[in-house]
Structure 1
C-alpha cells in the first residue's frame, strides 16, 4: 500500500519550524514572560513578618489612596507624560524634517550627515548622561563659554539644578540622542515610495514642499504611527538617563522622577528607604497597564485608519 508523501513532507516542515523557533521561544519566555507574570503575581500579595499573604488589589488601593504613595506616583506619571510630549513635539518632527532633507538626491554628503546624526543613538546612556552633565555644569561646563562666544551668556542657567527646567533639559538631551532613529525609519519609508508616484506628482506641477506634504507625507503616515508608538513605549520605560544624570532620587526635589526611577527606589530601596517587593511590583504592573492601554489604542483606533495610505 502506497504512502502519500505530501502529508509526511508537510509534517516534517512543521517540526522543522518548531525546532528552529524553540530556542528563541524558550529564551523569550525565561527573560520576559515568566518575569512579567511573576511581577503581576507579586502585586497581589503583601509580606508581613516574613509571611506572604494574598491581599488582592489592596496594594493598588494603597498606591492610589495613601497620600504619600499617591503623590509620588502621580508626580512620576505626569513627568513621564511630559517626557513623552517633548519627544513627540520635538524629536519626531525633527526626524521627519531631517529625513525629507536627506532624501533629496541633489544633497551632497548625505551619507556623512546620516552617520553623524545616527551615531549618538549607539552611545551608552552612561556616556550621554555624564557628558551632558559636564557640558551643562555652571562650574566647569563648556555651555556658558559657548553661549558667551555668540553673545548669549545671559541665557545660560543651571538647568539641571532647577526644578522647572531639569526634566525638560533631560528630555531634550534624550531627543538629541535618539532623533536618528525616527530619521532613519522615515528616510527608509521615503525611499520606498515608487518613482512613478513622484514622477506623476512632478508632471502635475507638485515639487518641493507641496510634493512632500500632499504626496509623500500621507504615504509615510503608517511609519510615523509606528515611530509614535515606539516613542511612547520607550519613554514610559525611561530610566537610565535620569538615573545617570540625577541619581535615584531624581532631583532636584523629585522634579525629574519618572515611573522607572520610582519603581527602582520602591523595589530595591535607596539609602534609608527599605525596598518593598510587593509595592514595587504594583508600580511595575501600573507601568505595564499604561503601556498596554496606549499600544491597544494605537493598534485598534489609529492603525486601522492609517492602512488606507499603504500601497
Structure 2
C-alpha cells in the first residue's frame, strides 16, 4: 500500500466517524419525545379507547359483565332519569358557552382594545387582568364559595352596607342564581387569558393598514367591523374554540363550588359533573350499569366536542383574511 492511499484512509476515517456520530445524534433527538408520548398515551389516548370499550358492556360494580352493544347509549337517551338529567346538563353547558362568549370574551375584546390604545397604566391592567389565571381553579372555587356565602360572604355584606338588603341572596343555594354565579366566576377567572389573546390579535395587524383605513375615512364602528375584526379572526377563532371546549368540559369549578350532585336540584349539573356522578358516584340511577352508562356519556361528550370543534374551525377559518 503506497503512502498516498494511507493518507487518504487516514483522512476518511475521522470523516466517517464524524458522519456516524451525526447520524446517531440525529436519531437520539427523536428519543426525547418518547417519555411524553408514553404519558400522553397512558393518560389521554388509552382512557378514550377504554371508554369506547367499556360503553359496550354491562357492569356489576367494577366487574365487567356481558357484551350489550349500544344498550348503554339507548338507556342514556331513552330511560328515566338518565334522559332528563342528560338534556338538563346539556342545556347548562350551552348556557355556559353562551354566557362566557358574551360576558368573558365580549368584555375581554373591549379591554384588549383599550389596552392597545396605550391608555395610562396599560401594562398594570394587563398584569391585573391575568392574575386570577395564576391561581388554581380549585382555589378560585373555594374562594368564591366563601364570598358568596349567604351568612358571612363578602358580597352580601357589601350589599348590606349599601342598604341593598333586598338584593342579598343565597347565591349558590338558589336554583335561579347558582349556575349563573358559577359561570360568572369562570368568566372572571378566564378574562385575563382572553384579553391577552385578543391583544396579540390586535397587535398583529400592521399599523400601516390602520393608518391607510383612517385616511380613507374609516372610523369608529366602520373601522372595527371592516378592518380590525376581519384581521383579528385567527385570534377570535382560537378563543371561540377554546371557550367552546372549556364550556363543555366544565367540571373543576362546578365541583369545587357545588360538589358532584349538581345542587340545588340539579340546577348546576354539567355533562362532565353528570358523567362523574354516573360513573363513580353511584347516584342518580347508576345501579349495576353505572360504569357502562358513564362511559357511554363520555363517548357522546367526546364525539360532540370533536365534531363541533371541527365545524367551528372550518367555518371560522373561512372568514379569516390574509394580510
Q: Please say if 1:70 is aligned against 2:83.
A: yes
Shift of the alpha carbon at 1:93? Answer: 0.6
The answer as to whether partners of 1:222 and 1:310 remain within 8 angstroms in 2 is no
Which residue number in structure 1 is paired with residue 257 of structure 2? 245
Q: Please say if 1:176 is aligned against 2:176.
A: no
Q: Say how many residue pairs are matched.
A: 304
SS, match of residue 30 in structure 2: helix
Shift of the alpha carbon at 1:52? Answer: 2.3
Find 1:300's aligned residue among 314, 318, 323: 314
Question: Per the alignment, do residues 120 and 51 of structure 1 end up closer, same or farther by CA in structure 2, a change over 3 Å counting?
Answer: closer
Structure 1 unmatched ranges of 5 or more:
none
Q: Please say if 1:113 is aligned against 2:92.
A: no
SS, match of residue 169 in structure 2: coil
SS, match of residue 295 in structure 1: helix
Which residue number in structure 1 is paired with residue 4 of structure 2? none
Q: Deviations over 1:147-204 (max 9, x none)?
A: 2444433223222111121111110111111111111001011111112112212322
CA distance in 1, matches of 2:38, 2:257: 36
Q: Please say if 1:281 is aligned against 2:302.
A: no
Which residue number in structure 2 is paired with residue 35 of structure 1? 47
CA distance in 2, matches of 1:226, 1:104: 23
SS, match of residue 47 in structure 1: strand
Question: Per the alignment, do residues 242 and 51 of structure 1 end up closer, same or farther by CA in structure 2, a change over 3 Å counting?
Answer: closer
CA distance in 1, matches of 2:155, 2:138: 20
Q: Please say if 1:133 is aligned against 2:145.
A: yes
Shift of the alpha carbon at 1:14? Answer: 6.7
Q: Deviations over 1:206-248 (max 9, x none)?
A: 3455433332111102211111110011111111111111111
CA distance in 1, matches of 2:81, 2:22: 61
CA distance in 2, matches of 1:22, 1:217: 41
Which residue number in structure 2 is paired with residue 227 of structure 1? 239
The answer as to whether partners of 2:237 and 2:313 remain within 8 angstroms in 1 is no
The answer as to whether partners of 2:233 and 2:316 remain within 8 angstroms in 1 is no
TM-score where L is the length of structure 1: 0.89
Shift of the alpha carbon at 1:31? Answer: 1.6
Larger radius of gyration: 2
Residues 129-208 of structure 1: pairs in structure 2 closer than 5 A: 129-208=141-220
The answer as to whether partners of 2:57 and 2:64 remain within 8 angstroms in 1 is no
Find 1:54's aligned residue among 67, 76, 95: 67
Instruction: Say what the alpha-carbon RMSD is for the aligned residues.
Output: 2.5
TM-score where L is the length of structure 2: 0.86
Deviates more, 1:77-86 or 1:50-59: 50-59
CA distance in 1, matches of 2:189, 2:273: 20
